[in-house]
Structure 1
Amino acid sequence: MVDELSEMSMVDPISGAELALPSITTHPKVTPKHDKHGRIEIYNIVQWDGDDDNNNWAVWRAKMLYYIKAIFCRDIDIVAVIHVFSREIAITRAGDEECRWTRLEFPSNTVFTDLMYHEGRLYVFNDGDHVAVFDDLPSRIRRGGDTDQSPTRILGTLSKEWYGGKRYVVMSSLGRLLRVYRMFRRDQTVDFEVFGMDGVQVKSIGDCALFLGVNHSLCLPVEGVSGAKRNCIYFTDDNFEAIFVDRHSVRDLGVFNMEDGTIERYFHKQQCLFPPPLWFMPNLP
């Protein structure tokens, strides 16, 4: 959850329990500016392209657009976040009051599209079709300040023509890393394609379903689960440019059937939800 000052916290949707994360001002590229009453009214955020003319963000704008995706690596109590305009990934330790945000370094200025945590590794997908892998996240946390951290390795690009849309990285139930491509037309999803890291297109995920959106991308078995559909992709609206330009635009939510390519929409064209829905997965043992 992000409050009115763009401060992030973790919230249990069932109990309402809340845990504050380090302040946005502990990020090395963020400097608050105060009004005459001492209240924060602007954040100066250094952007990836060095454009100093567009660094000053009103607090409400930072709340809407600075954080694009956040995930919780629950077994190591680490939160990872995509910052869109600074084109960075940052991590911190939940519940540690002495922690700051630590940047993870990528070799080139690029747009990050998704990130996923699995068995001790953070996987980060970018618009150049690279997947960066970061091992041993706890050792990368720096309490005293920011230190650039390079990926352990970078997985190669996919030989595929691509003209836009969104990219996701997800681990299948069989431990296979998948790249998912989502195509849009007029801000509405019209198709998905799924590939393995070997570049071979995946036509079926069997008795599983993918769940995509602003959350941690998931692949879960759904056999025997009432109402759930196998070999399908459940998606929520995470097209932030469209969402925040027009809060009353039609939300892009539905189920894509990988077998026949059809899409079942969740809501009538006149229905609108703001903020858009999220997926919740219980923290089961």
Structure 2
Amino acid sequence: MGRGRDGCKSLPGEKDHVEGGIEQRGWGGLVAIRQQRAAGWGGFGPDSKVGDLEWEDAITLSATVVEGDKYNYRWIKWLRCLVAHPTMGETGTEHFRRMKKGDETTWSELPEELLEIIARRLTCLFDYVQFGAVCQSWHSTMVNMHQHLTFWDPWLMLPEKQDKSMIRSFYILSKRNIFELKLPEAHAKRCIGSSKGWLVMVDVSLSIQLLNPYTRVQFQLPHQLTFQDQNNFAQGYTSEELRDFFILKVVLSSSPSNPDYISIAIYSDWGKLAIARSGDEVWTTIPSEWFAFTDVIYYKEQFYAINWNGEVVSCDVGAHPKTTLITTPVRESYGQKYLVECSGELLQVIREVIFEDAPHKTIWFSVFKLDFYKKLWVEIKSLGDHSLFLGYNNSFSFCCNDSSATGVKRDCIYFTDDYLEAHQGLQNEWAGSDMGVFHLEDGRIEPHYSGYACHPFSLPIWYTPNIG
């Protein structure tokens, strides 16, 4: 590994050349500064921990970061000083302080346009937060841009620690490491949904909240006892059991910062649907001749739900809620099914699980696209540059144009263990273990997180950060 003109070690595979005072970088990068400088920033603070990042985990900047002759060499020199590599023996900050005092260039002098280009290339929220912690001008850029940046790589929220430390761990795919966050707002609560950057949590008192783990802002949803049939279902169950098994999933139409947002829940052992608007004090059941729903999605200003048999209904959430059958089952298949939007299309995913041995195990996924005109499902064999994320979360797709930056593999299904019936009454080591990455191309399944992630009620769930 050589050194550039500024004395910084060159990046692996980097091609530096200067033409007319302009340096074109083929493998440049911006890595989160090792110093924890994010104290007081919502959920990220002194209690947050992130392991050292390797070069392979760096957020890369392509040659287009420096375009034409607009930015001269000294700006790029300061970008290089941000890089922290274990073999350098110092952080980018230390390198900055070590450089000769006679150079008037500072981090705050980087052109705002260049900072915006860099910020738009960050796909991991943690890097974005650290980006804003460099100095006041960088922070201002982050504040000005955050509402326009929604492309964050998915995180896997791991089960609650058993040591009562109130620490929640998030596995970051793009970093291949764990970010720990002290989050007392989620302590001893079951996560029954992850939607639009918000977690849906229910505690042992059966109170339900929306929680943004980054900002720690919370919104209250109607109490679980306001569900129809809750009293009949509650007979013979403890409050812990009602917390763990009564609600399957909650999905939002939009962020709760929108005063018109609607929550929809799948609840009870009958798999019914219920809605709650902002400000509602009770859940309103949607009358339906269909039941045993397994997933629900807000797609093109409309809620759709799919049940165990594969019947798909649209949900009218107006003054007189009702459901209307959209399609019959794509084939005779009983089991977990999902609805997910991908490239503007509505997809149905069928998950095949076997129960021959303990624990249960997922062996296959089939994907279908809905032809709305013909009301028919057409099987597809590839997702192209997209991958799907399924589980207790709001099912979603993710574009993998730059898989090296996001850590997400294309044409795959990332899944977690959400087979609620298999967890009921279990206090063993298996609950939450059925998760992995399914490759549509050849059907193989590999792990996405290899650590221990089992828990009787606090199961792993996909989360997409939202700093708004």
For this structure pair, what is the TM-score category when the shorter chain's length is used for normalisation? 0.7 to 0.9
5+ residue gaps, structure 2, are 1-200, 371-375
| Aligned partner of residue 199 in structure 1, secondary structure | strand
| Aligned partner of residue 61 in structure 1, secondary structure | helix
5+ residue gaps, structure 1, are 32-43, 47-54, 141-147
User: Residues of 2 paired with 1:220 and 1:210: CA distance?
Assistant: 6
Check whether the contact 2:354–2:362 (CA below 8 A) recurs between aligned residues: yes
User: Residues of 2 paired with 1:7 and 1:208: CA distance?
Assistant: 36
Match for residue 168 of structure 1? Answer: 338
Instruction: Determine if the alignment matches structure 1 residue 18 to structure 2 residue 218.
Output: yes
* TM-score normalised by length of structure 2: 0.50
Of 146, 149, 159, the match for 2:321: 149
User: Residues of 1 paired with 2:415 and 2:330: CA distance?
Assistant: 25
Alignment of 1:50-129 (within 5 A): 55-74=235-254, 76-94=260-278, 96=279, 98-108=280-290, 110-129=291-310
Alignment of 1:131-146 (within 5 A): 131-135=312-316, 137=317, 139-140=318-319
Match for residue 235 of structure 1? Answer: 415
1:257-279: CA deviation from partner (whole Å, max 9, x where unpaired) = 001111112355x8343222111
Report the structure number with the largest CA radius of gyration. Answer: 2
| Aligned partner of residue 322 in structure 2, secondary structure | coil
User: Residues of 2 paired with 1:240 and 1:213: CA distance?
Assistant: 11
Instruction: Determine if the alignment matches structure 1 residue 212 to structure 2 residue 390.
Output: yes
User: Residues of 2 paired with 1:253 and 1:30: CA distance?
Assistant: 30
- CA deviation after TM superposition for structure 1 residue 232, in Å: 0.5
Cα 1:210–1:64 change in 2 (3 A) is same
Instruction: Determine if the alignment matches structure 1 residue 282 to structure 2 residue 465.
Output: yes
User: Residues of 2 paired with 1:169 and 1:63: CA distance?
Assistant: 25
What one-letter code is carried by the residue in structure 1 that aligns with 2:339?
Answer: V
Match for residue 189 of structure 1? Answer: 362
| Aligned partner of residue 200 in structure 1, secondary structure | strand
Instruction: Determine if the alignment matches structure 1 residue 27 to structure 2 residue 209.
Output: no
* TM-score normalised by length of structure 1: 0.80
| Aligned partner of residue 237 in structure 2, secondary structure | strand
- CA deviation after TM superposition for structure 1 residue 207, in Å: 0.5
Match for residue 39 of structure 1? Answer: none
Instruction: Determine if the alignment matches structure 1 residue 202 to structure 2 residue 380.
Output: yes
| Aligned partner of residue 205 in structure 1, secondary structure | coil
Sequence identity (%):
30
User: Residues of 1 paired with 2:284 and 2:314: CA distance?
Assistant: 16
Match for residue 51 of structure 1? Answer: none
Taking only aligned residues, the RMSD between alpha carbons, in angstroms, comes to: 2.2
Runs of 4+ that moved beyond 4 A:
none
User: Residues of 2 paired with 1:222 and 1:159: CA distance?
Assistant: 28
User: Residues of 1 paired with 2:428 and 2:245: CA distance?
Assistant: 13
User: Residues of 1 paired with 2:459 and 2:228: CA distance?
Assistant: 30
Check whether the contact 1:84–1:112 (CA below 8 A) recurs between aligned residues: no
Give the structure with the higher percent helix.
Answer: 2
Cα 1:219–1:129 change in 2 (3 A) is same
User: Residues of 2 paired with 1:267 and 1:253: CA distance?
Assistant: 8
Match for residue 45 of structure 1? Answer: 233
1:45-72: CA deviation from partner (whole Å, max 9, x where unpaired) = 38xxxxxxxx443211110100111111
User: Residues of 2 paired with 1:92 and 1:9: CA distance?
Assistant: 12
| Aligned partner of residue 57 in structure 1, secondary structure | coil
User: Residues of 1 paired with 2:437 and 2:330: CA distance?
Assistant: 27
What one-letter code is carried by the residue in structure 2 that aligns with 1:106?
Answer: S
Give the structure with the higher percent strand.
Answer: 1
What one-letter code is carried by the residue in structure 2 that aligns with 1:127?
Answer: W
- Matched length: 249
